[in-house]
């Protein structure tokens, strides 16, 4: 018994728990009415054991009566005395056909939530009294405990297909009249949007590339496009490698079309000062937020994103620098936990999460240098959890050796964006022009190129 229990008794309803167990023994078919609770929601160990035994028998389609239930309790929970048997018989004697089982389930559920909140409060108090560690981390820990209770409890029930069909049909009608109102956010690149329509709510989108190709810049270009197109939506950028000053320099360079060297040195001409002021004004008008905390975890990201108003896109750069909550002795399992948690985050918050990832370098002697899904580092679950996977390829940058002259060469480079996975449609390749000094990606109009070829 904790000191909390010694002061006050934990919230529970013995009568409601007995009524539910009795109703289930009397009519096992009512078990489906208890879908909103588990054995952990019962207050006493005896009630938990009985409910778990009923569930086991029900799942195996076996007859449920006093004899089978007592035997299941003894077999599953090593109960050797007769107390459980006597108690089950007492519940059976008290049991009556009860139409209020749904109400009793609600009471059990709510009492369970209250107990969990009390336990969470105790843990938070211990952390606060201890006073060690960063206060921000304690606040994040506290928020995560409470949000986890809510996420575990308030889940959706099964939905009949007719309800969803009606909702979708109404949405089809609305979209046909309002073609620009599709949920999610458009990338700002027409060819990409033809593959995805938009980065949809709940999508986990992965951008993979080898060192020096420009995956961070591509993610920043997407953030800038979304920020300018949707000025009221919040875009969160979590940069585990670069500082917020470096990222903003790149965004300014991209928007103003002033080379990054000039931006960093601030050696602007009179004309460039005007372009700089206009670019800074446009950037300031967006709802882009940057966090450059190193070694960030999924819990940290969840806590910070929940505070944003109307989040439209979350960008994390990059996966291999993230810290997992468990499996720290096995990086493959740790990365798997991270990607699954990010997919859950995207789904729960109804926002696309864009995750940048490092790709393995190709073996020496391999003729085909273009990246493939199997080049994703550390975990096969990355491919499994992602809804969309885009792999960037720039000829000559397979091993990262070409990065020295990457951002000073004014010539246009072609970057292939290979859509290797797309749960919403087909796969393919979209070509971009890469302008290194401005950290800018420009979509190549393939139809225009074909017209020019035909003219010649």
User: Which residues are identified as catalytic?
Assistant: 241
- What is the β-pairing status of strands 287-291 and 311-317? unpaired
> Chain centroid to CA 242: how far?
22
User: Percent helix, strand, coil in the chain (nearest 5)?
Assistant: 55, 15, 30
What's the token pair of residue 266? Answer: 């601030």
> Chain centroid to CA 219: how far?
17
> CB burial class (10 A; 0-12, 13-18, 19+) of residue 96?
exposed
Cβ(314)–Cβ(294) below 8 Å: no
**Cα-based torsion angle of the residue sequence 20, 21, 26, 28 in order, rounded to the nearest 10 degrees:** 90
**Cα-based torsion angle of the residue sequence 385, 220, 307, 386 in order, rounded to the nearest 10 degrees:** -10
The residue whose two tokens read 């585990």 is: 240
DSSP conformational letter for 419: E
Q: How many CA atoms lie within 13 A of 226 on its CB side?
A: 31
Rg (CA), the chain: 28
What does each C-alpha distance from 65 to 25, 56, 172 come to in angstroms?
6, 13, 51
Nearest CA-CA partner of 275 in 259, 261, 288, 264: 259
Cα–Cα distance for residue pair 350/311, rounded to 1 Å: 9
Cβ(371)–Cβ(391) below 8 Å: yes
> Chain centroid to CA 191: how far?
26
Q: DSSP letters of 33-98?
A: GGTT--GGGSSSHHHHHHHHHHHHHHHTT---SHHHHHHHHHHHH---SSHHHHHHHHHHHH----
- Which contiguous run of DSSP H or E holds residue 443? strand 440-443
What's the token pair of residue 32? Answer: 């489906």
Q: Omega before 318 cis (within 30°)? A: yes
Nearest CA-CA partner of 349 in 161, 184, 239: 184
């Amino acid at each position: 018994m904790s000191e909390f229990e010694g002061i006050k008794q934990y919230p529970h309803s013995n009568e409601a728990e007995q009524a539910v167990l009795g109703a289930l023994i009397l009519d096992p078919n009512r078990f489906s009415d208890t879908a909103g609770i588990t054995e952990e929601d019962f207050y006493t160990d005896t009630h938990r054991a009985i409910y778990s035994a009923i569930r086991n028998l029900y799942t195996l389609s076996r007859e449920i009566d006093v004899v089978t239930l007592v035997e299941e309790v003894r077999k599953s929970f090593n109960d050797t005395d007769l107390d459980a048997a006597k108690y089950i018989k007492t519940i059976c004697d008290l049991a009556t056909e009860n139409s209020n089982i749904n109400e009793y389930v609600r009471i059990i559920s709510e009492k369970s939530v209250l107990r969990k909140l009390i336990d969470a409060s105790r843990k938070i108090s211990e952390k606060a009294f201890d006073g060690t560690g960063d206060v921000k981390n304690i606040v994040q820990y506290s928020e995560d405990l409470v949000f986890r209770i809510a996420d575990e409890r308030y889940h959706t029930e099964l939905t009949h297909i007719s309800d969803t069909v009606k909702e979708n049909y109404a949405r089809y009608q609305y979209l046909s009249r309002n073609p620009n109102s599709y949920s999610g956010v458009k990338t700002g690149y027409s060819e990409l949007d033809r593959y995805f329509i938009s980065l949809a709510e709940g999508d986990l989108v992965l951008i993979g590339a080898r060192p020096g190709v420009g995956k961070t810049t591509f993610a920043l270009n997407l953030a800038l496009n979304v920020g300018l197109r949707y000025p009221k939506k919040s875009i969160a950028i979590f940069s585990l490698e670069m500082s917020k000053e470096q990222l903003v320099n790149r965004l300014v360079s991209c928007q103003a079309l002033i080379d990054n060297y000039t931006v960093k040195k601030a050696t602007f001409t009179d004309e460039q000062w005007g372009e700089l002021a206009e670019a800074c004004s446009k950037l300031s008008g967006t709802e882009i937020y940057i966090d450059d905390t190193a070694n960030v975890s999924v819990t940290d990201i969840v806590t910070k994103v929940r505070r944003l108003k109307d989040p439209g896109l979350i960008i994390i750069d990059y996966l291999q620098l993230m810290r997992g909550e468990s499996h720290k002795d096995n990086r493959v399992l740790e990365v798997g936990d991270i990607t699954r948690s990010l997919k859950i985050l995207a789904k729960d918050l109804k926002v696309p999460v864009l995750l940048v990832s490092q790709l393995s370098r190709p073996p020496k002697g391999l003729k085909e240098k273009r990246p493939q899904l199997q080049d994703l580092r550390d975990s096969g679950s990355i491919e499994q959890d992602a809804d969309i996977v885009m792999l960037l390829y720039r000829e000559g940058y397979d091993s990262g050796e070409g990065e020295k002259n990457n951002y000073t060469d004014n010539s246009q480079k072609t970057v292939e964006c290979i859509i290797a996975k797309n749960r919403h449609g087909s796969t393919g390749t979209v070509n971009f022009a890469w302008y290194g000094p401005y950290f800018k990606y420009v979509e190549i109009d393939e139809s225009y190129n074909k017209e020019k070829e035909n003219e010649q």
